[in-house]
Amino acid sequence: MVEGKAGYRPLSPFERWLVLMCAWAPAAATIVYLKNIVLNEGGYGRIAVQLGLPSNPRHPEATFSFLQSLSFHRGDLLVGLIVVPLGLWLIARWLPLVISFPVVFSSAAVLMFWLAVQRMAYEDTGGFLALTFLRDGLWWIIRHPGDFKSYSSGSTWLKAGIVLTTGLVVSWLLLRFCRKRERPLGESPTTRRSVEFAAVAVALVTVVSFGPWMPTTVYHASIPQLIASFASEALSPEINGLSDAALIARYRSLVGLPGVGRPSALHGKARGFDVIVWISETLPERVVEAHGGFASFPNLRRLTDSALILPQHYTTSTYSSLAMFSILTSQYPPYTLRSYFESSSGQNIGSFLSGAARMGYQTGIFVPGDASFNQDINFFSAAGAGEVFVSDRHPLPYEKTSFERRQQLDQSAYTEFQRNLEDWLGSDKRYAAVFFPEIGHGPWPDVTGLGPSASRIQLREALLEVEDQWIGQLLDLLQRHRRLDKTIIVVTGDHGVRTRIEDPALPRARLDDYTFHVPLLLYAPGAFSSELRVEGVTSHVDIAPSLLDLLGSNADEPFFQGVPFWDPAVAQRKTFFFGSGSVGSDGFHSAGHYYSHLLLGNTIYAAPKMSFDDSMVVTDAHEQLAVSQTLQDQHNLQIVWVGRAVKAAGTQRQGAP
């Protein structure tokens, strides 16, 4: 795009502006297109319910007049057709095309890439990806290119490429046309009048869109605003100013937990036992239920007679690393671990591993593939893991498919896990170890030849049968060392199904049982009576205090946010679920009801089960405020809480003898 070339006249500022507008047009069109998608795929219906307007469920857009529908685009019109064109006019006046065009076109291309990713995220989950998760996702794709095809839409990339190429071709044709003219295009009365008419029309439409046609909703913001502010977090000065004691009291008041009580009847019932925590990747409760329960698996059946099986157990997060954070630390997860464990500069945080280590236990975490994110590995060490083994930090043969590679990584981690157990058992050392196989990561392959008629649930059942074989080998190892009846074993899932790519049956844009409800088996021989019943919803934050209670730990863990499963407070407290980064919603359970807060549109749902539809939208203003305020309070508290927990653990370690 070089102007002033021999045989061509230099372009006028007006002509340069037109070329830049052609470069910008694909991004502007994509913004409008994405807003239409958001409105037509659920937005109109939610707005109608929120405003109490009667609507046709099949055609909710018919509820709104043309001017009301136009008003939803006012932010995008202002940005795309007023603010950016004015900025491009200034650029065209002062910079040559050889500089300005590559910058504008590249910026438009990056924006379109961002919008294409968000389009796929919205299609799959009903929400958008925050920048933090987008960055982590890009890093994951770089490390696992085979997964890119599974989690991306070829048609979306094709459409984006066609639109972007069209803008480039039109810019080039316009440039050639202008260069061949003897006089600048702006000197043509017809061209000048056409542009002036278009400018007046754009300005008039934008002004009209800001008219008082209906109450302002979240959907009136521009698409860039909606995405940029999606699931963002900010430090609350008021919460940050609380002392540790006041912060803990604030949390207990928020969730409805009484003060610290006396030790439970199960305290120390497994004193001197070893501990194994088996965290299965992407394991919804309905997979185990469909198979017939834990007892339907030949090796897990060996544990059920001496196990506590929790029917209403839930993960805290849809991300594996954040779910593991809750399992280990008994804390609800922060928005990202990056803020706290980006560097390996010796941070510490209280966990059941660090608690076991203080009791003289050897500790370890064995994972196949989480080396993609350094903050995860740093967290494992900070949480007290004396041994951290990650398979893909070690050279392995090239694998033909993503699943085959994952299978070998799992086997590598499992072999190292067994080797460490043999060493600890052979030297009669007590240990607490975590194993996290990823063979169950979605989308689930057909590993047993079930064929195309197999349901997604059946595919995951087959993978769990593979894990059951590994568990059988583990139980045989413990039996050979005569420690099976002296070992606590936890089997659970990190989370359930998160995307429609993993299962098209997953509901979009709200919390769902398929995503958060996970199985949990707690094997502790001699600890549980047949009369023990756990009432209420349990959470991953309850695993660490349950284990330490069974081991008989008397250490104070002030930053634990969960309680032992058998604590009566479980039935009365609020239990939180965080999925805004992947499914677009957060929520909690309280007094027999589940609440889901859809961030896009600020829509609140309430239901007796974690399954929602538009008939369950909360319209009472006081209830809406109470639900959103509860979640906001927990978000604000958690940002400060995790930082304080890290600081307190560091201080405790420095003061240790």
Which of 574, 575, 599 is CA-nearest to residue 585? 599
Q: What is the DSSP string of 189-214?
A: HHHHHHHHHHHHHHHHHHHHHTSSSS
Considering the domain boundaries, does residue 184 fall inside one?
yes
> Long-range contacts for 90-95 (Cβ within 8 Å, ≥24 apart)?
91/20, 92/13, 92/14, 92/16, 92/17, 92/20, 93/13, 93/17
Non-local (6+) Cβ contacts of 590 within 8 A are 256, 573, 574, 575
* pLDDT value for 532: 75
Residues 223 and 275 in one domain: no
Q: For the chain, what's the residue count?
A: 657
Residues 220 and 290 in one domain: no
Note the pTM of the prediction, 2 decimals.
Answer: 0.82
Domain count, the chain: 2
Considering the domain boundaries, does residue 70 fall inside one?
yes
Query: What's the domain range around 394?
Result: 238-655
Backbone angles phi, psi at 464, to 5 degrees: -65, -30
* pLDDT value for 652: 57
What are the C-alpha distances in Å from 156 to residues 24, 141, 239, 341? Answer: 19, 17, 43, 35
* pLDDT value for 398: 39
Locate all alpha helices (DSSP H) within 427-498, ordered by sequence: 456-480
Residues 322 and 197 in one domain: no
Residues 224 and 242 in one domain: no
Residues 455 and 499 in one domain: yes
Considering the domain boundaries, does residue 252 fall inside one?
yes
Which CATH number fits the domain that encloses residue 431?
Answer: 3.40.720.10
Residues 221 and 183 in one domain: yes
User: In 325-412, at which residue ranges do the beta strands (DSSP E only) sit?
Assistant: 362-367, 387-390
Q: How far is 210 from 216, CA to CA, in rounded Å? A: 10
Considering the domain boundaries, does residue 167 fall inside one?
yes
Is the CB of residue 267 less than 8 Å from the CB of residue 552? yes
Considering the domain boundaries, does residue 400 fall inside one?
yes
* pLDDT value for 651: 59
Is the CB of residue 315 less than 8 Å from the CB of residue 493? yes
* Residues in the chain where the model's pLDDT stays below 50: 1-2, 371, 395-401, 654-657
Considering the domain boundaries, does residue 2 fall inside one?
no
Considering the domain boundaries, does residue 7 fall inside one?
no
Out of 175, 207, 228, a domain closes at: 228
Considering the domain boundaries, does residue 1 fall inside one?
no
* pLDDT value for 396: 46
Residues 140 and 203 in one domain: yes
Q: How far is 302 from 304, CA to CA, in rounded Å? A: 6
Q: Is 538 helix (H, G, I), strand (E, B) or coil?
A: strand
Residues 177 and 250 in one domain: no
Indicate the residue type of 165.
T
Is the CB of residue 639 less than 8 Å from the CB of residue 333? no
Out of 228, 255, 274, a domain closes at: 228
* pLDDT value for 400: 43
Q: How far is 543 from 541, CA to CA, in rounded Å? A: 6
Which of 328, 369, 69 is CA-nearest to residue 219? 69
Residues 348 and 473 in one domain: yes
Non-local (6+) Cβ contacts of 411 within 8 A are none
Out of 228, 263, 283, a domain closes at: 228
Residues 176 and 58 in one domain: yes
Residues 197-217: tens digit of each pLDDT? 988 998 999 999 998 888 888
Residues 324 and 389 in one domain: yes
Show the CA angle centred on residue 188, arms to residues 183 and 189, nearest 5°.
160
* pLDDT value for 261: 66
Residues 23 and 94 in one domain: yes
